[in-house]
Structure formats: structure tokens, C-alpha cells
A and B are shown apart, each in its own frame.
Chain A
Amino acid sequence: MALVEMKKVELALHRSVTEKVVASLQRLECCEIIGYSGDNASGETKGGPVSEHLKRYENLLSDARFALRFLENYRQGKVSFLAKAFSEKPHRNMVELESLSDETDFQDLVAQLRGLERQFVEIRTEMSQLAGLEAILGNFKDLSQPLLFFTTGTEKVKGVIGTMPVDQISRLELAFSSQVARDGELFVKVTDPAKDKDAKVALLYLRELDEKVSVLCAEVSFNRIELPRELSGTALEEIARIGERKTLFLEREEVLTLEAGRLSGEWLDRVQALSDFWTVMKGRYETLDSSESTEQINFLRFWAPADSLPKIEKELEPFNSLSDRTVKAPEEGEVVPSMLRNPAWASPCEPLTTMFGVPTYGGVDPTLMMAPFFYLFFGMCLGDAGFGVILALMLGGVLLKFPIKGNLRKFLIVMFICSLSTIVMGALTGSWLANTMDSFGFLNFLRPLRDRFVVWDPMNDPMTYLGVCLTLGFAQLIFGLGIAFWDALRRRSYMEAFADRGGWIMLLIGVALLFLVSIGKAPASLGLVAKALASGGAIVLFLTQGRSKKGLLSKAFSGALSLYGITSYLGDTLSYSRLLALGLSGAAIGLIINLLAKMISEGVPYVGWILALILFVIGNIFSLAINVLGAFVHSLRLQYVEFFSKFYEANGRIFSPFGYETQFVKIVESSDSHESN
């Protein structure tokens, strides 16, 4: 329950071996590099080759990001969600990756891809322009004159096309017939007189009337549409021509898509592997870049778990003649990273702990103490053996079938253990998909078997089960105080241990015993002990809780006031009643589903049982989903709010070792274990 002990290692290395040492440390994945934050960090001694390498990898990675985005877009054959989420990354080793990186003409690929992308963009622009033009010409389909008149015009004739408000049309027609008369032609189209506000209008006239027509147009708010100059045929002809061009573009796009798909099939895996390799290399040079150095010597400092020091020593043995190593314990005031280590049954809960906060180094890691309570409380909240069995089968199947790693695996294991606990709690409370065994006659034969395990019946006797929940809650609170007591002892702050924690533990146990005696659940002979404990605890608290205050009166006042804190313990204990409520709500929803299913199966002739089965299945899936969410959230909340608040200090920083941070491939040891660099 304590955290892993950390040591600080300081390495002085000769320039010639620094890169190799950094590579070795990266492969070990157990050192957290402490960056040098001095003023002359980027002094003249650095720069040079390291910065160049760094820059090179950064550029490669930025190209790789582009290439990956492009290639993934054109990936052929979709990958199923499950496979994507759970499938194992391909294994590669560094030697292999390095030669892949050397052999690959990545710049050529990127140039190809950029070329392809540019062509796609061009096609898309052209297509949208054509679509726009097509829409405009569509309005003038009925115009029989060639568009040549409206674009450049001929020597004598000129024309304009455009839109104008429908209510101005009569005015235009009047003016046109009086001013242009026989020297021009007017084309007006209103598609839908009821709705259209704008009419499509084309005017054709002798060139010499140009000015007159311009004035006329301005008067009726005519809005001119400029057409591209190359249009010469009639609107219909031009539309047909646009159609042909669009087909051509589509064909070209298809060819390009095929090409992109081919490239994706050929390159995607390789680029993914390369991107990971370059990320690793970039990390390596970043570490080098952040180290302090003189002309000949580089200084590396890092945190490492004490028990991995022999491994590190062995790894660095070949460089012993060119390096110097000191190992130190953490000093006062240093922020040491925290690394959690717990037995297999509890370690899946580590993400739940760090979600609340990372334990302070030197403090308590609550994972081990929380895990059993969390599993138990989840089981009580979900509280149905049927649900437990379904969940256990599902999770077990997923865990066995897919090689899942990391936090997702831990989460699934937590849920698996929780589902086992749900089966136990469901069996103890006699809930198997609620009262299914009672509701449906053909399952009645299972009842004797079920009843053999039943200890509590929260449905018919909720008060007893409430007592169980509150007792468990009280036990967890006292346990939390006990941990704080132990932690204070360990840190030799005896006043905190005995006065702050001990006082409360005595008082709370005394009060709880008094309560039990008063309701007749504990022998009356304990009454005296209870009173002694309670008053002893209260006196300790009264005498000590004002110790930081000055003056007798304010000491006494603070001491007395601290006793008011008992209400918060009362509230915390009552908070555990949610275990009963959530358990009941799950069971009650199940009860209702069964009731409705039974009514349907008996009430509807012939197909009733099918409808009932559908209702039963869908209802239970729904109930399972919301109850799992509720059970998870509320049992976690009990840990965070009620339990952790008693002792847990979460001001730490998680230990994040320098290693292979990959996205697509898993880097494994190569057969010849030392890579050349």
C-alpha cells in the first residue's frame, strides 16, 4: 500500500556514448528523465548534430501525419470497431524499423500524395464551379438565342441576363416596348408566380442602345449575371456540354481514388510503423537535447524505481569506462514521481485511484484498501445474479478473445470482478433477473435451489438490509480513519495519530455501540464500555482540537466546536444507504418487467409469449445498462467522497518513464538485443 521507492540517478557520460546510453534507457522503459532547466540549456555546446536530428524527425513526423490522414481516408475495406479497439498492434523491432526508415523513399511518397491531393482539390473546385453555372443556365433553358450574345455580344447586337424583382416586370416591359421597341427582344421567366420573388430576365438589343438599356435596368433593380466568356451555344447546348465535362471529371476522380486506394493498401502499414519509429527517435533526441552538457561530457538525471536499479546497472555496464553514476535518495522538497504497485487482484483499480488524483510520494496508495470495498459495493448496487452472470460471460469473452492492453484491460478486469461480486450478492439476496423464477411457472422448479443461498430479502424486509449497508459503510469510515491513524504513526506525528484520528475512532465506535445497545442489537453489558469509549473520545477531542489556537477560551471553544463534526460522520454513514436504494431500484425494474411480460403472455392469445419474450429481453438489456452505470458511479463515489476524504492525499505526479510511445506498432526486443545506432 505504500508507493514504489524511487531513486534519483545522475549520470555523467562521455559524448561518444551518450546516444547509445539514451537508447538503452529508452528500451528499458523504467526511467523518468529530469529535464535540465538551467539558463544556458541551449548553449553552444549543444545544438549541432542533436538539434539537426531533432529537426529532421520533426519534419518527417509532420509529413507522416499528413500521409497517414490521407492514406486512412482511402483505406480499402473498413475495419470493424471491435477489431480496431481491441486488436493487437503488430510487433516490430528497432533494427527492422531503422532499416525500413533507411530504405523507404518517404519524400517521394509524400510528393505523390500531395500531388494526388492537389488534383482532388482541383477537381472538387471545378465541379462546384460547373454545378453553379449549371444552376444558372438551368433558369434560362427556354432561351433560344445563343449565349454568345450575352457574353461578348456581336458587332451589332448585345445582351444581358440577370434577375429582378417580380413586381417590377410590368414596368420593365412597358419601358422596354417604348424605348427599345423593335430594336430588341425581352425574355422573362417566372418559375412559380406564387412563390418567386425574383424573375429570370434576358434582354437583347442593338449595341447602340447600350446606354439606354443600362439606365433602364438600373431603374427596375435589375441584377446582372456575368457569364464566363467561353459560352457560345444556347443554354441547353451549354448544359449538355457541362454534363460531359462533369462526367470527365468524375471519371478522373475515380481513377485518382483507385490510385489513392492502391497507395493506401501498399503504404499505410509502413507509414504507421515509420511514424512510430520516428516518434521514438524524436523522443530520444529530445531527451538528449534536454540534458546538460559541456564540451565532452553530457549529464543525464532521471528517477527510477529502486528495484530496477540492478537492471539499469547491467544495461549500462558496457559504458562503465566512459561514464560515472551516482544514485541518491530523494531530497526534501523534491517532487518525486509516484509509481503504483499492487497485487494482481487490486491493481486493475489503479486507474480508478489515479482518476481521483495521484498519491503523493511517500504517502498512502489507497488502491489496495479501496478495491475490496469497490467490488463489494458494486455487487450490492447491481445486486442481481442474473445480470452478474450475463456481465461475467460478456467481459470474460472479450478478455479472452482480444489481446487488450493498458487501462482498457484494467477497466474490463475491474468490471469482471465486479460482475462476480454481483453474482454473489444477487444469490445472497435471491435476485436472479429479479423474481423471474417466481413469475414464470416453468421456472418454479429452480426456487428451492435459489432459496438455499438467500440470506437477506431486501424487497420484503428492506430495514434489515439497510442495517447491513450502513454497518458496512460505518466499517469503511472507521477503516479510513484507521489508515490515517497508521499513516500518522508511520510519520511519527503522534499528536495527529492519537488526538485527531484516535479521538474520532473512539468517539464514533462508542456512539455506534451505544446506538446498538439502545435498539437492543448489542448486549446491554456493553453499554458501559460504549459510554466510556464515547466520552473518552469526546474528551480527547475537546482537549486537543483547539491546540493551535491561542488563549484558553478559544482553545475550549474550538475543542467543543470540533465535536460538531460528528454530523458529517453521520451523513457519511447514511450516504451508504444508496447501496440499498440502487439494489432495490434494479430489482424493482426487473419486477415490473416480469409483471408486464407475464400479463402479456397470459393476456394476448397465441403470440403473447413472443411479445412477452421480446419485452423481457429488451427490458432487461435496458435495465442492465442503466443499473451498471448507476452501480459503477455510485460505488466509486462512495470511495472518493466518503472513504478517500478520511486519509488520502492526492497531490502526486504519476511516474511516466521514458520509453517507446507508439500508436500503431508494438516495439519488441530485436533478436540481437543491442541495436546499433
Chain B
Amino acid sequence: MDQVVTTLLTTMSEQLGAMIAVLGAGIAAGFAGSGSAIGIAIADEAASGIMTEDPGKFGLALLLLALPGTQGIYGLLAAFFAILKVGLLGGAAVKVTIWQGIGIFGSLMPIAIACYYSAIAQGKASAGAILLISKRPEEIGKAVILPAMVETYAVLALLLSIILMNSIKL
């Protein structure tokens, strides 16, 4: 019995840290990607709507509805960073303690949460901007800036995630 417990504890101390980081990476990429998908879908509806009137607006609409897509990329990015850090993508073997794993998990939370919500919000902003260019295509410059205001907070979250992850020394 004692032996079983010891083995269990040994494997835990050897592998659990990295796996907690993997869990965080999964959550980050999953939530950020979902947020982007929802956000783009919201903008898509507006884009399809204006294209029933003028299919020629496809290019402009595409530019705007691509904006909420960045969050998904940020999520993927942070997730890659995390699994790279715990040595799952090759390179020298890294020893990750449970506490370090939890730290990496925590560092991924800003990106997971902020990207999910900001992508949806940005999708709404993009939809509004798409309606703007349906009437005034010459205002595409302003229409791109407005949804980008929302993205600021996803960028800040990415920044914090990277700084936090960088601050965990393995």
C-alpha cells in the first residue's frame, strides 16, 4: 500500500506540474478561439446583411470582420508559449514542479478570460462598423479604428500573460 502511494506521489511530482500547464494552455487556446469564433459570427451576420444590398462591399466587410479574429491567435500564442516552456515541444527536458505548473496555469488566465469576452464584444463593435461602411464606405478608416478600441484589452492581457509566464523561473 505504502509503495503504491509512493509511486503515485513520485509520478505526480514529476509530471503533474507540466500537465497543469497543459490544462492552462488548453483553456487559453480554447476560450480565446471560441470568443473569436463567436465574435466573427456576430460580425458575419452584419456583413451578410449589407452584402444583400451591395455584394461589392465584401472586401471592406472582410477587413472588419477579421478584427475579432486576433484574440484566437493570441490565445493560441500564449498556449504555445506555455507548452514550449514546459518542454513538450522538444528541446531539453525541463523539470516543472506542481507549484510552477499552477503558476503557468495562472499566467494563462488573463489571456483566456479577456480574449473570450473581448472577442465577443469586438464582434459587436465590428458589426456596428460594418453597418457604418454600408452607408459610407469612404469612412473605412474610422470604421477600423472603432472595433480596435476593444482589442486593447486583449492586447494588455496578452502582455500580462507573457510577462507572468516569463517571470516564472524553471
Contact = CB atoms under 8 A, between A and B. Distances in A.
Nearest to B158: A581
Contacts of B90: 599
A637 B145 CA distance: 7
Contacts of A580: 159
B77 interface: yes
A595 interface: yes
A462 interface: yes
A575 B152 contact: yes
Contact of B156 (A577, A591, A592): A577
Contact of A463 (B73, B84, B163): B163
Given A585-B77, A588-B81, A589-B73, A626 B152 contact: no
Interface stretch (A326-334, A537-545, A551-559, A628-636): A628-636
Given A581-B162, A626-B73, A595 B89 contact: yes
Given A578-B159, A588-B80, A592-B80, A633 B145 contact: yes
Contacts of B145: 633, 636-637, 640
B73 A578 contact: no
Interface string B126-170: 000000000000000110110011011001101100110010000
Interface in A539-593: 574-575, 577-578, 580-582, 584-585, 588-589, 591-592
Interface residues of B, number: 29
B116 interface: no
A592 B76 CA distance: 10
Contacts of B142: 355
A577 B159 CA distance: 8
B70 interface: yes
A626 B69 contact: yes
Contacts of A462: 162-163, 166
B117 interface: no
Contacts of B70: 626, 630
Interface in A80-131: none
A578 B155 contact: yes
B63 interface: yes
Contacts of A575: 152
B141 A355 contact: yes
Nearest to A595: B89
B152 A589 contact: no
Main secondary structure of the interface of B (DSSP, over half): helix
Interface in B38-73: 63, 66-67, 69-70, 73
B31 interface: no
B105 interface: no
B148 A578 contact: no
Contacts of A584: 158-159, 162
Contact of B152 (A351, A578, A585, A599): A578
Nearest to B79: A592
Nearest to A581: B159
Contact of A581 (B73, B141, B155): B155
A626 B66 contact: yes
Contacts of B84: 595
Identify the interface centre among A581, A633, A640, A641: most chain B CB within 10 Å of its CB. A581
Contacts of A581: 155-156, 158-159, 162
A629 B66 contact: yes
B19 to A, nearest CB: 21
Interface in B75-101: 76-77, 80-81, 84, 89-90
A585 B144 CA distance: 20
Identify the interface centre among B84, B152, B159, B166: most chain A CB within 10 Å of its CB. B159
B133 to A, nearest CB: 13
A158 B72 CA distance: 72
A352 B141 CA distance: 8
B37 to A, nearest CB: 16
Contacts of A599: 89-90
Contacts of A630: 70
17 contacts: A355-B141, A462-B162, A462-B163, A574-B156, A575-B152, A577-B156, A581-B159, A581-B162, A584-B159, A585-B74, A585-B158, A588-B81, A626-B66, A626-B70, A629-B67, A633-B144, A634-B151
Interface of B: 63, 66-67, 69-70, 73-74, 76-77, 80-81, 84, 89-90, 141-142, 144-145, 148-149, 151-152, 155-156, 158-159, 162-163, 166
Interface of A: 351-352, 355, 462-463, 466, 574-575, 577-578, 580-582, 584-585, 588-589, 591-592, 595, 599, 626, 629-630, 633-634, 636-637, 640-641
Closest 6 CB pairs of A and B: A581-B159, A355-B141, A633-B148, A581-B155, A578-B155, A588-B77
